[in-house]
Amino acid sequence: MTQEPKRINHLGIAVKSLEEGLAVWRDGLGLKVAKYVEMPEKGLKIAVLPCGETMIELLAPLGDNSEIQAFLDKRGGGLHHVCLEVADIVQATAHASAHGLALLGQAPTIGAEGLPVRFAHPKSTAGALVEWLETAPRDDGARD
């Protein structure tokens, strides 16, 4: 039985620089920065801003080979991906794959949150890049 995703963990927003993103999301919209994360292997500098139970993650390029550079060149920034939090990423991605979604990579990797993540190609998701993130089950309810 496939479990429903628990919530939207975060929205990834591509920005040309963190300064540009923070001027909007922190200064203009009033969110607070919880932390900054650098992922040199992906060419990303990230600012994490909680909004209730969901985070806004501002993704800015770091270095010359950023994985968001092509997106920025094409669109100038904006909503980059939607991250669904699931209890079992292997099960959730296998279920999606069985329904025609194209998974990126061979297996989950460790994302900016320090937890297993995996993406589905936007060509297979009606245009929205989807990320799954696995978190341990919460202790407020029984698992199926």
Minimum distance, C-beta of residue 131 to Co ion, in the bound complex (Å): 5
Minimum distance, C-beta of residue 140 to Co ion, in the bound complex (Å): 24
Asked if residue 131 binds Co ion (CB under 5 A), the reply is yes
Binding track over 8-47 against Co ion, x by CB under 5 A: ----x-----------------------------------
CA distance 48 to 22: 10
Minimum distance, C-beta of residue 136 to Co ion, in the bound complex (Å): 18
- Residue range at the interface with Co ion (CB under 5 A); choices 31-39, 67-75, 91-99, 131-139: 131-139
Strand order in the sheet with 109-110: 35-39, 44-51, 54-61, 7-14, 78-86, 130-134, 116-120, 109-110
Closest CA relative to residue 48, chosen from 124, 111, 117: 111
Complex with Co ion: residue 54 or 143, whichever CB lies closer: 54
Looking at residues 70 to 129 of the shown chain, list those that interact with Co ion (rule: CB under 5 A). Answer: 83
What token pair was written down for 111?
């994302």
Beta strand pairing call for 44-51 and 54-61: antiparallel
Complex with Co ion: residue 132 or 141, whichever CB lies closer: 132
Helices and strands in the chain: count of H runs, count of E runs: 3, 8
State the Cα angle at 84 between 100 and 129, rounded to 5°: 55
CA distance 141 to 131: 24
Complex with Co ion: residue 49 or 98, whichever CB lies closer: 49
Minimum distance, C-beta of residue 134 to Co ion, in the bound complex (Å): 13
Can you give the binding site for Co ion, defined by CB under 5 A?
Answer: 12, 83, 131
